[in-house]
Chain A
Amino acid sequence: MALLKIHEPGETPLPHEDERQIAVGIDLGTTNSVVAISRDEKPEVLRDKSGGNAIVPSVVYYGDGTPVVGEEAREHINTDANRVVSSVKRLMGRGLEDVKSVAGTLPYDVEVPEGTEDGAGEPMMVRLNVGGRVLTPVEVSADILRALRARAEESLDKTVEKAVITVPAYFDDAARTATKDAAKLAGIEVLRLVNEPTAAALAYGLDNGAEGLYAVYDLGGGTFDISLLKMQKGVFQVKATGGDAALGGDDFDHAIAEHLLAERKDGGAADAIDASDAKRLLKTARKVKEGLTDQDAVEVVVDLNGSKTTHTVTRAAFEAMIAKLLSRTTAITEQVLDDADILPEDVKGVVLVGGSTRVPAVRKAVADLFEQEPLSDIDPDEVVALGAALQAEALTGGSDNLLLDVTPLSLGLETMGGIVEKVIDRNTPIPVAKAQEFTTYQDGQSAMMIHVVQGEREMVDQCRSLARFVLTGIPSMAAGAARIRVQFNVDADGLLTVSAREETTGTEQEVAVKPTYGINEVDMANMLRDSMVHAREDMELRVLTEARVEARRNILAVRAAMEADRALLAPEDEETINNAIATLETAMAGDDRDAINEAAEALENASRPFAEARMDSRIRQALAGQNVDEVN
């Protein structure tokens, strides 16, 4: 039985040396970002000019000139706080409704552009009001990515246009799309969006040649993720993942800040706090938190509204403040273990990721839950970027390792009564393609609203709305007679495309799930223009590269066929084919895409008689074989 032809791994040819481009790994974090590169499966973080810090704070200062990113931007918090944006990742792909839940915890004004609450009433991504400028979270993220790209180019002394960018496993479709859009604005081609915990596991796994079940506990500035991975023979398989997209170290800072304010109030100083006070207070709170990692108590001076107060925060007091937040992470972890039908003792190792896992109480909570000391020999601030760099190298240079990831949240459709019909369950391996059939509920119904949602709850209004579109042109039929097939595709980046089709007539509509909370095409085009990225040239270059890749494949395929079936090749055909190949190769050396495509078509025509001869020969063989069988 020759049904499945399995090629040995590594046999698929690697791209030519000249096509290998530098690809970096980027951890675009809530609080901090890191860029790394891997060569020969040895990843390293890229540091600043002085060779010092790997961490770039995800903070942007919008002064009068070009935006300033990183440590320098953070310095402006004390003097010009309302032009400083931090923790913007929390707003990626979020509408005003989502942000209300974290309202007050954000140190800047958020708004929704005018005219979006009327009309179709489609919710849109929030905008930030930064010193009079209105910015989308995507633009701010793009500024951070530009700074990381610049750091990489400076450090490597090469152009960097490709990257693997990490996202929280729990990021929904809107947030993933927003991240990809930000990269586009920064002139970076995203080779793959990889989930942060998966990247961390990759960094650990490759280093230690680990086999078995591992848990990755990732508590960053703004998000919490827990993932369970099975590692075997070079395959990293995500078994289950869960988390909370709005829970992180920022909340610890908040708890401390609130505590400090409460103490001041008890001391008689009732503060009216504006956004810039809040930013400074949070900065103080973060220092307290960091101090408590090594010390049992930290003394701090708060200077607000002209009154200075001195406070002592003990580690015990801090741990009491965050106990509730920590128990949320352990409850989610238990749920994920249950989902995967795994007991804590089955877990061979626990990887800690994210700066917040430096907090001793976090480590203790993890150790208690899994009944073992967590692994932490790779810097938790760098581990994700290192894993992303490994994956970037694997995607551009080939690898024997493979990541198999899953959908973090269930995807479904709204049905009668606002009930969600799940089409793809959470923790389904990706890529995935699934279809479900629906029918009309009224006689003569000619259109159907397709409402795509993401989440685990049963009612639509408790899930996140991803997109709505209307399938029109359904032929007039009795209720229940039409057959509407809705197809969901989730690609390896975790991005969803939905199409709907009426089966009896073939009326079809397809949407990449993008509109809700996304940025529409027009805005995106304007931003690209504003950002001075040469989008058009970029696009043309990409098309030219694709034409060359395709032409090269074409030549290799024809040569392989000539090798395999030389007996069927007429001498005059061989000459025509060889000439066509030579012409195509000449065209490929140039920059004219149309010339390449024309020459490729000519090669196809030249090799057609040969291809037909090969098909005929195989059919004859098959028929001959059948005759023998019949005789038997």
Chain B
Amino acid sequence: MSNTEHPAHKACWSCKGPVEVSALFCDTCNAIQAPGQLDHFKRFGLERSFVVDIDAMEATYLKQQQLLHPDRFASKSGREQALSSQQAASLNEAFETLKNPVARAHYMLRLAGIEPEGGEGHTVNDPELLMEAMEMREALHDAEDKGTIDAMIKDTRKQARACEKDLGDAIDGNAFDTAKKLTTRLRYLMKMTEEARAKKSRLAAA
């Protein structure tokens, strides 16, 4: 039974008839359904892969929000409003997770049964990366003009892009140990970019 290709059904809360567990709306009575335990990729009709077409995914996201957002249910019953809020929140979570490469990597690692680094109880154990991060942080601390910081931002972004590409190859090639390391590195690089930007606006405000 477990390997059946046929979608499972549940009873629609509204018309009590059968409805697919992952359906957004009942195809008989049109009532909005509770969000099922739907894989983020499936929500957007995508294959499970690190490489995603963000623009195409966003188009699907917007199309679905047009249908699910609570603003569409403002004059409906309280139950439908609550379900719409849950559906819209699940959709937002799926989109936010897949849009961001670090969050997407964490999600894919967890789907593969691997706990990513940096979560609770996990310390980063990569001396090379820690050293690199420390040096970057020192350089940022010493930087005092906009030009230097701009160059740093440009450099970290370039490195982040390269890292993201390697990470994609690793995850999609099931090389999860490498993927785990690269995810941590990508997270650091993005954080450094953010810190550099914050410093830049502090300088500008001063």
Binary CB contact string for chain B from 58 to 97 against chain A (1 if under 8 A, 0 otherwise): 0000111111011110111111100001101110110110
CB neighbours of A565 from chain B (8 A): 17, 28
B29 in contact (CB, < 8 A): yes
B191 in contact (CB, < 8 A): no
Binary CB contact string for chain A from 169 to 208 against chain B (1 if under 8 A, 0 otherwise): 0000000000000000000000110000000000000000
CB neighbours of A554 from chain B (8 A): 14
Contact pick for B14, options A2, A20, A328, A557, CB 8 Å: A557
Size category of the binding interface on chain A: 35 or more
B31 in contact (CB, < 8 A): yes
| CB proximity of B183 to chain A, nearest CB, Å | 18
B17 with A9: CB separation less than 8 A: no
| CB proximity of B205 to chain A, nearest CB, Å | 4
CB interface residues, A 553-612, toward B, < 8 Å: 553-554, 556-558, 560-561, 564-565, 604, 607-608, 611
CA distance A617 to B17 in the complex (A): 10
| CB proximity of B28 to chain A, nearest CB, Å | 5
B63 with A491: CB separation less than 8 A: no
CA distance A522 to B106 in the complex (A): 46
CB neighbours of B137 from chain A (8 A): none
With A402-B65, A403-B71, A611-B11 as known contacts, state yes or no: A433 contacts B80, CB within 8 Å: no
CB neighbours of A434 from chain B (8 A): 93
B67 with A558: CB separation less than 8 A: no
CA distance A395 to B95 in the complex (A): 25
B197 in contact (CB, < 8 A): yes
A615 in contact (CB, < 8 A): yes
Size category of the binding interface on chain B: 35 or more
A451 in contact (CB, < 8 A): no
Contact pick for B77, options A3, A553, A629, CB 8 Å: A553
A338 in contact (CB, < 8 A): yes
CA distance A560 to B75 in the complex (A): 20
B29 with A560: CB separation less than 8 A: yes
CB interface residues, B 1-40, toward A, < 8 Å: 4-7, 9, 11-12, 14-18, 20, 22-31, 38
Binary CB contact string for chain A from 336 to 366 against chain B (1 if under 8 A, 0 otherwise): 0010000000000000000000000000000
CA distance A415 to B71 in the complex (A): 35
Residue of A nearest to B43 (CB): A4
Residue of A nearest to B63 (CB): A6
A49 in contact (CB, < 8 A): no
CB neighbours of A553 from chain B (8 A): 14, 31, 76-77, 80
| CB proximity of A182 to chain B, nearest CB, Å | 20
Stretch at the interface among A32-40, A71-79, A259-267, A423-431: A423-431
A binding-site residues for B, Cβ under 8 Å:
1-7, 9, 12-13, 15, 19-20, 191-192, 232-235, 237, 327-328, 331, 334-335, 338, 391, 394-396, 402-404, 428-434, 437, 489, 491-492, 546, 549-550, 553-554, 556-558, 560-561, 564-565, 604, 607-608, 611, 614-615, 617-619, 622, 625-626, 629
